[in-house]
Amino acid sequence: MYQNCRNCNADLIEVVDFGKMPISNAFISQNQFSDEYFYNMTAMVCQKCYLFQLLEQPNPNILFHDNYAFFAGSSNSMQKHFDELSDELIDKFELKKNDLVVEIGCNDGGVINYLKKKNHSAHLGVDPSKNVYEKSKEKGINMMNKFFNIKTSNEIVKEKSKAKIFISLNTLAHIANINSVFEGIESLLNEDGIFISEDPYLFDVLEKVSYDQIYDEHVFVFSVTSMNNLCNKHGLNLYDLKYLDTHGGSMRYYVSKNKNLPKKNNFNYFFNKEKNIHSNGMEVYKNFNSNCIKSKTNLINFLNEQSDRKIIASYGATSKSTTIFNYCNINTNQIKYITDTTSTKINKFSPGTHIPIYDYDYFTNNKPDICFLGAWNHSKEIFKKEKNNFSLNGKWITHTPEAMFINDF
């Protein structure tokens, strides 16, 4: 447990205490209920560098294990996203055939899978989870089955070369030893190297009260301010940004080893916007705390009222829904089952709350009266898929920013 900021060692201020939490992605069998692991999930913010972080994160070896249950390839929208980013790398950064591209947390393919398809052989994926590492290897992707840090970076330079591009999509926020990661990035990049990172954007989380973006794997939720402070500390230049709709609101950070590269308008806009918000001290974080409590109470009351008369199922066995269900004490009294298409989750139970998870065939044959949108960040893809299968209007509910029926498809 860290008592001080993981970046600058300054004092932390409590934002929200979510209480006892299980491992978010550990979908378990009934015989594992008595041995289930729990920790206390408390969100903090550094009063000096504004890095938003968990006070305690379970051991990474527990989180990113040999049977990791998330596969990025299961989402069509994310595959399209990876493909488009691979085109940008080739065109915008004039990627040459021998320029090494390294992607951490590439899961079962990521961006480098599309680079490989476009005949870019100078690539390397780094992922600590054995099963997704094996999936990538099966696709012919060059892989390393390790956590990324300064030691791993030095190994890559020794065995391969310096990198032209370093990619981290929804991965940087997972790594508690953040300074070792940034040391590794700075050491790995060549002199004109570019680091591209995407993660959920903190001020979207605060504004939308999407507290389910906070779970054990997300030890950090970055803002432009905190990312800029990390880059400055390690001799890197955060020079441009791109706001994205992915994962309910994300930020893409463009970072260069060239310190003289001028800041773009997007950077200046978001940096100054956050500066104005922080001019009011910690008010925005205090408001988030009270909004989380209101959202929790509202969702519990809403589900209790609906479940008295109707059968409710949840669509998507997600890490996000683990936070929601455990924070709000939601179980089979409110939600009868969860449907998912990931084979490793089927016929298991949700972490902590032990709601059964059934496959998609069960869902189509046992349609509930109402669906709770657990995978709300993939709502467009889900609604397109369910348009002809499950009546949409008045049948779907969300928790963010408050519990309500979804009428805008």
The per-residue pLDDT for range 244-255, each reduced to its tens digit, is 988 788 999 999
Q: Is the pLDDT of residue 135 over 90?
A: no
Closest alpha carbon to 250 in 287, 274, 221, 291: 221
CB atoms within 10 A of CB 50: 25
Angle between helices 283-307 and 319-327 (to 10 degrees): 80
The per-residue pLDDT for range 142-154, each reduced to its tens digit, is 889 999 999 999 9
Q: Is the pLDDT of residue 168 over 80?
A: yes
Q: Is the pLDDT of residue 268 over 90?
A: yes
The per-residue pLDDT for range 309-364, each reduced to its tens digit, is 899 999 999 999 999 999 999 999 999 999 998 888 999 999 999 999 999 999 98
Q: In whole angstroms, give the CA distance from residue 247 to residue 271.
A: 21
| Sequence letter at residue 144 | M
Query: For the chain, what is the mean pLDDT?
Result: 91
Q: In whole angstroms, give the CA distance from residue 182 to residue 163.
A: 14
pLDDT category at 64 given cuts 50, 70, 90 is: low
- Give yes or no on whether 72-278 and 289-405 have one common fold: yes
The per-residue pLDDT for range 198-218, each reduced to its tens digit, is 999 999 999 999 999 999 989
Structure token pair of residue 299: 């969702």
Q: Is the pLDDT of residue 69 over 50?
A: no
Percent above pLDDT 90 for the chain: 70
CATH class in words for 72-278: alpha beta
pLDDT category at 2 given cuts 50, 70, 90 is: low
**For range 4-18, the mean pLDDT:** 97
Q: Is the pLDDT of residue 133 over 90?
A: no
What are the domain boundaries of the chain? Answer: 72-278, 289-405
pLDDT in the model for residue 409: 57
pLDDT in the model for residue 246: 84
pLDDT in the model for residue 404: 87
Q: In whole angstroms, give the CA distance from residue 263 to residue 266.
A: 8
Q: Which of 165-174, 241-250, 261-270 has the lowest mean pLDDT?
A: 241-250
Q: Is the pLDDT of residue 141 over 90?
A: no
Q: What is the 3-state secondary structure (H, E, C) of the chain?
A: CCCECCCCCCEEEEEEEEEEEECCCCCECHHHHHHCCEEEEEEEEECCCCCEEECCCCCHHHHCCCCCCCCHHHCHHHHHHHHHHHHHHHHHCCCCCCCCEEEECCCCCHHHHHHHHCCCCCEEEECCCHHHHHHHHHCCCCEECCCCCHHHHHHHHHHCCCEEEEEEECCHHHCCCHHHHHHHHHHHEEEEEEEEEEEECHHHHHHHCCHHHCCCCCCEECCHHHHHHHHHHCCCEEEEEEEECHHHCEEEEEEECCCCCCCCHHHHHHHHHHHHHHCCCCHHHHHHHHHHHHHHHHHHHHHHHHHCCCCEEEECCCHHHHHHHHHCCCCCCCCCEEECCCCCCCCCECCCCCCEEECHHHHHHCCCCEEEECCHHHHHHHHHHHCCCCCCCCCEEECCCCCEECCCC
Q: Give CATH superfamily name and number for 289-405.
A: NAD(P)-binding Rossmann-like Domain (3.40.50.720)
pLDDT category at 3 given cuts 50, 70, 90 is: confident
Q: Is the pLDDT of residue 60 over 90?
A: no
The per-residue pLDDT for range 88-108, each reduced to its tens digit, is 999 999 999 899 999 998 877
Q: Is the pLDDT of residue 137 over 90?
A: no
